[in-house]
A = this chain, B = another copy of it.
Amino acid sequence: MSQMIGKQSISFTEPPYILASGSVVGKKEGEGPLGKCFDMVCDDDKFGSESWEDAESTLQKEAVALAMGKAGLKQEEIRYIFAGDLLGQTIATSFGIMNYKIPLFGVYGACSTAGESISLAAMSVAGGFADTVMAVTSSHFASAEKQFRFPLEYGNQRPASATWTVTGSGAFVIGTKKTHTKITGITTGKIVDYGIRDSMNMGAAMAPAACDLIAAHFEDFQTKPKDYDKIVTGDLGYVGKKILLDLLKEKGFDISEMHTDCGIEIFDKDSQGTDSGGSGCGCSAVTLSAHFLPHIEKGVLKRVLFVPTGALLSTVSFNEGQNVPGIAHGVVIEYEE
């Protein structure tokens, strides 16, 4: 029986399971509404490292160690690791997971990377290419500001549409061993360009891609919004959420009841000064790991569509006057008794 559904989706005939996950975050995330849910909160945002990049590598290293430990697995038992981050040449990943000696597929999907890596990890298990694999992604506020925006010391003003890059890494062990959380399908995103040119408004750049993905998902699986307990986007924030809901309404889908965004969940906008919300590869990964997965595991949520969203830009493309196109990747996670 074919697992291909519609134009851009897969419905797994033998769904892979999420065996365990690990989340590591920085101080600010630890002070937010989900603070108590994370596996590890570090008061030192440098995580004992000499540079912000090295700190981000440490985040990945720790998240992988936590997830493996919870699954009771050794590194030799992990057949592949699918990993990525936001930095140029994904150096947080290279130096973060290097010492694990696990065959690596490096991925890049901007902030949608958690969705992309989990999709490929699930495919590798469902395709019979591995029994147990991992997916890991990270972001770090300071390494991202340095990479994409201004030096921290410059103390630039932030417009209300700006998001706050989450310092965090989430790692997922995915395999054939049964648990209460299974990945039943994926929808893979195309690049969508709405002509946005404001790098301080990533929510607006990514919302059209999220809309395209979610609409394609409904079409491919022949489902409706109410078939999902939650539809969770990655880091659209308050600004992007509004655009997404409006765009989907134009297509005849009202997801206002079950939609939420990891970037909105992770920070308290009013007390934490995070403007539109959290962002970064790490945002959706740690929120899935620490907040949504435990709810699915207990059956509180039965079916969740997880849609991390990414903005495809670099300082070079941006300074050369290119638009900021977006991409999104969807993963369906369901409760199994």
Q: Which residues of A contact B (CB under 8 A)?
A: 2-4, 8, 10, 50-51, 53-54, 79-80, 84, 86-91, 94-95, 97-98, 101-110, 116, 119-120, 123-124, 126-131, 147, 188-191, 193, 312-317, 320, 322, 325, 327
CB <8 Å contact, A95 and B317: yes
Q: How far is the CA of A271 from the CA of B266 in the complex (A)?
A: 59
Q: Within 8 Å CB of A193, what residues of B?
A: 98
Q: Contacts of A124 on B, CB cut-off 8 Å?
A: 123, 127
| Cβ–Cβ contact A108 & B129, under 8 A | no
Bound: A101/B191 CA distance, A: 7
Do A188 and B104 contact each other (CB < 8 Å), given the known contacts A79-B4, A91-B314, A94-B325? yes
Q: How far is the CA of A127 from the CA of B54 in the complex (A)?
A: 36
CB-CB under 8 A from A106, the residues of chain B are 107-109, 116, 327
Q: How far is it, in angstroms, between the C-alpha of A8 and the C-alpha of B102 when the chains are bound?
A: 9
- List chain B residues, Cβ under 8 A from A53: 316-317, 320
Contact A91/B313 with A106-B107, A127-B126 known, Cβ cut-off 8 Å: yes
* Given the contacts A53-B320, A88-B89, A190 and B103 also touching, CB distance less than 8 Å: yes
Given contacts A89-B110, A120-B105, A129-B123, contact A79 B316 (CB under 8 A): no
A80 nearest CB neighbor, chain B only: B188
Q: Indicate if the CB atoms of A127 and B130 lie closer than 8 Å.
A: no
Task: Give A102 to B191 CA distance when docked, in angstroms.
Answer: 8
Among B94, B119, B128, point to the contact of A191 (Cβ < 8 A).
B94
For residue A58, give the distance in angstroms from its CB to the closest CB of chain B: 13
| Nearest B residue to A112, CB-CB | B106
A sample of 12 inter-chain contacts (CB < 8 A) reads: A3-B129, A4-B79, A10-B129, A86-B89, A88-B88, A89-B312, A94-B191, A98-B325, A101-B190, A105-B119, A105-B120, A107-B108
Please give me the residue from chain B that is nearest to A324 by CB atom: B94
Residues on B with C-beta less than 8 A from A191 are 94, 97-98, 101, 104
